[in-house]
Each structure stands twice: as C-alpha cells, then as structure tokens.
A and B are shown apart, each in its own frame.
Chain A
Amino acid sequence: MEFWRVPLDADTIQVSRGIVHILEDRCKGCGYCIEYCPKQALEFSTNFNQKGYHPPVVIKPEECVNCHYCEIICPEFAIFSVESLQTTEVEQART
C-alpha cells in the first residue's frame, strides 16, 4: 500500500487483506463496484457471462483491503469479499 505520509504508529497497524469472490452469472455489468472500489482493484472482464454482460475481474488482488464496498454497492448480490488470513503489516509497505 502507498502512503502519502507513513503513520508514526505504522509498525503496530495491520492492514486488512481481502479476497474477492465474483458470482459472474448474477452480474449485470453496471460497473458500480469497479467505479467505487477505493483501491481500483477491479476492472471489466473481456469475457461475457451467461446473459451477455461483462462481469468485473480482480486485476490487483494484492490491493484489496476487504472494505466490502463492492459487496454492499452491488445491486445483484454478485460480488463480495472475505478476509484473507494473510494480513500485511504497514511495515512491509515502507519498503
């Protein structure tokens, strides 16, 4: 993760990591999840789903912070995130 200024307590803070699941055939391609993901982790897939829409695809899996916003903005119950067991310490981001 990039910081404009590394927090002073950076070594004690843990950043959540998420794994995104996409139920492609429920998606209607509105793009809300893509537009509002704070980490720009998603993009439209070039593939079509069963109904002919382009579902999202995770382009930067390492960026997902498990904020669930894609999950709660999606009108179709087509995407959600779960906590990844591997949490990255801010310490690592400094390097």
Chain B
Amino acid sequence: MQEISVTSKKQPRHPLDDLIRTDRIPHIWCPGCGIGTVFSSCLAALKESGIDLKKTVMVSGIGCSGRAAGYVKLDSFHTTHGRAIPFATGLKLANPELNIVVFSGDGDLFAIGGNHFIHAARRNMDMTVICVNNLNYGMTGGQVAATTPYMAKSTTTPAGNPETPFNLPLMAYASGATYVARWTMLHTRDLTDSITEALCKKGFSFIEVLSPCPVNYGRRNKQKPLDMLKLYQEKAIIKNHADPSKLDIDFEKGIILGKFIDLDRPTFIEHYDKIYRPSRLQENVSGLNS
C-alpha cells in the first residue's frame, strides 16, 4: 500500500486516484453496475504488475464498459464499436515497446468485434484483453448479446433468449490465446492477481469477468444488484485448468471460474521480426545483452 496523507486535505485521496482522471468522477456507470469494480481491479493490477505505466496504453471500444478508457490516467483510446482489438494491434505493431490493455464489453468484443478477437488470438498478438461480460448490450438498453444465457430476457427477447451463448474461454483457447481466465467482479482479489499475471505475460491474454448490469439485464431477469452478487457467490466453482469445452455459463449448474490456460508460443511480432525485420531482432538481442 502506498502512503496516503489524510491530514493535509479535506478529502482523503483514494489509493487509486493517481491512475484515475478524478475530475471525471463520479463516472457514468449506474448504481450497482459492476464495471467500476472490474475497472478498479484492473488499475490495481496495473500498479501491482510493476510494468512501465508510461509505456502502457488502454484501448476500449463502444459500450458502457468501453467508457473505461476515458477514466484511466494513462494514454488511452476510445475507438469505434468492435474495433478496440484491431486498433490495439496497430498500436503494438507501430510501437512494440508498448504494453497494451484492451478493456471492453461482451458485445463490443464478441458480437461486432468477434472476428477481430479470433484473429488477434490466432496471431498471438501481445496484449491483455479484459472483457466485462454483463450478458447484454447495456449501453443501448439491454438488447440480447452473443453472451446472453439461453432463455434469459432482454429487450429483444422478451419471452426468453432462444439462442445458445458463446463459451468465451473456449473461443479464446480454440483461437490461440496463450492465457485464459474467468472470474466475477465479486472475486476481486483473484481477478486482480489474474490481470497482474496476464499483464506480465507475453502473448495474447484473455480474461472474462462476469459483472452485473442491474439496470438493463438484472431488471428484466428479476435480479437486484445484490441478488446477482449472491448468485456469483453461490454458483461459483473455482477449478483451475478446467477443460475449456466445459465452461458454458449455466447459472443452474454452477459457473466455473479460474485460470484455464497458461502456455507459451511465439508472438506475432517475434515471427514477423524473424522473417521480415531480422535487423530489429538483432537490435533487441543486443539491447537485452547490454
């Protein structure tokens, strides 16, 4: 913990205030919305990881979750809908020294942006992707998403969702991600540890975080904010290294959380440098040796 001077100021400084654009707080997220907790955990992990924050960039797409980029006191980009990952890919390729964090919603990353996700994972682009999965399109009023559970109610599925949702960790693993984990916003300490680990790891890391959207999802599914948290508490089964194909979200059976995948394979930039920029590879090697 850092030092906090409470005596000198009327308002005490929150330990994360140095990473927040405090002039924009309170943020726009609704009372009981979990995005703020996930964001807070991400900031704590950024601190904890010890990575150079001057060389760290946060990229978000569009949606309530996508607003995070506007609150972090780092270089950050609020991109167009679904395009956080390709934008982040461009940043990384133009300046491979950067640490890239993509923080966005389930709709942004897996509906409109789904194709970008699978290709960045396939290429093993070196970035950390944090997906706030609130099971719907929160910002636009609670439409069905690619993650909405079967039979759940939304504005566009008033009698229940007839679709099968994605199993996000399976998709990440099958596409080539080298780090895959899932937590809920209630499992804040595990979540922070996981984000810290992912930030320090090279390659494509993916963390799914279940988080309540009481206003648009909870209200239509008879779940008050605290009900949702209690559900996370009751239904969570922590099972590290679980088989990714068994990770469908089913609130009846229980939700499996944990770190599922942690492996190493060359990143896109490593392959690219070897083939097209051998001189840079040389520079990097000599840089490492010096």
Which residues of A are at the interface with B, using a C-beta cutoff of 8 A?
A: 21, 23, 25-26, 28-32, 35-36, 51, 53, 69, 71-78, 80, 82-83
Q: Are A74 and B226 in contact, with the CB atoms below 8 A?
A: no
Cβ-closest chain A residue relative to B225? A30
Counting chain B residues whose Cβ lies within 8 A of the other chain, the interface size class is: 20 to 34
Q: Are A21 and B40 in contact, with the CB atoms below 8 A?
A: no
Tell me the smallest distance from the CB of A42 to a CB of chain B, in Å.
14
- Please pick, from A23, A35, A73, the residue contacting B37 in the complex, using a CB distance under 8 A: A73
Q: Are B40 and A51 in contact, with the CB atoms below 8 A?
A: no
Does B250 make an interface contact (CB < 8 A)? no
Cβ-closest chain A residue relative to B71? A77
Give B1-37 as 1s and 0s: 1 = Cβ < 8 Å from A's Cβ atoms: 1001010000110111100100001110111111111
Q: Are B1 and A30 in contact, with the CB atoms below 8 A?
A: no
Does B188 make an interface contact (CB < 8 A)? yes
- Please pick, from B14, B29, B226, B229, the residue contacting A80 in the complex, using a CB distance under 8 A: B14
Q: Which 10 A-B pairs have the closest CB atoms?
A: A75-B36, A28-B31, A30-B32, A21-B12, A72-B188, A75-B37, A77-B14, A30-B31, A26-B26, A80-B14
Does B189 make an interface contact (CB < 8 A)? yes
Tell me the smallest distance from the CB of B34 to a CB of chain A, in Å.
7
Residues on B with C-beta less than 8 A from A30 are: 31-32, 225
Q: Are B189 and A72 in contact, with the CB atoms below 8 A?
A: yes
- Please pick, from B6, B17, B189, the residue contacting A77 in the complex, using a CB distance under 8 A: B17
Tell me the smallest distance from the CB of B286 to a CB of chain A, in Å.
42
Does B192 make an interface contact (CB < 8 A)? yes
Q: Are A77 and B40 in contact, with the CB atoms below 8 A?
A: yes
Q: Are B35 and A75 in contact, with the CB atoms below 8 A?
A: yes
Residues on A with C-beta less than 8 A from B229 are: 32, 35-36
- Please pick, from B6, B15, B34, B189, the residue contacting A75 in the complex, using a CB distance under 8 A: B34
Q: Are B31 and A29 in contact, with the CB atoms below 8 A?
A: yes
Chain B interface, DSSP helix/strand/loop, else mixed = loop
- Please pick, from A25, A76, A83, the residue contacting B1 in the complex, using a CB distance under 8 A: A83
Cβ-closest chain A residue relative to B44? A72
- Please pick, from A26, A36, A80, the residue contacting B15 in the complex, using a CB distance under 8 A: A80
Q: Are B32 and A77 in contact, with the CB atoms below 8 A?
A: no
How far does the alpha carbon of A32 sit from the alpha carbon of B36 in the complex, in Å?
Answer: 12
Q: Are A23 and B31 in contact, with the CB atoms below 8 A?
A: no
Contacting residues of chain B (61-92) with chain A, CB-CB under 8 angstroms: none
27 A-B pairs within 8 Å (CB atoms) are namely A21-B6, A23-B12, A26-B25, A29-B31, A30-B31, A30-B225, A32-B37, A35-B226, A51-B26, A71-B15, A72-B41, A72-B189, A73-B185, A75-B36, A75-B39, A76-B25, A76-B27, A76-B36, A77-B14, A77-B17, A77-B25, A77-B36, A78-B14, A80-B12, A80-B15, A82-B1, A82-B4
Does B186 make an interface contact (CB < 8 A)? yes
Tell me the smallest distance from the CB of B74 to a CB of chain A, in Å.
16
Cβ-closest chain B residue relative to A66? B1
Residues on A with C-beta less than 8 A from B1 are: 82-83
Residues on B with C-beta less than 8 A from A71 are: 14-15
How far does the alpha carbon of A1 sit from the alpha carbon of B12 in the complex, in Å?
Answer: 28
How far does the alpha carbon of A26 sit from the alpha carbon of B225 in the complex, in Å?
Answer: 18
Q: Are A31 and B226 in contact, with the CB atoms below 8 A?
A: yes
Residues on A with C-beta less than 8 A from B188 are: 69, 72-73
Residues on B with C-beta less than 8 A from A35 are: 226, 229
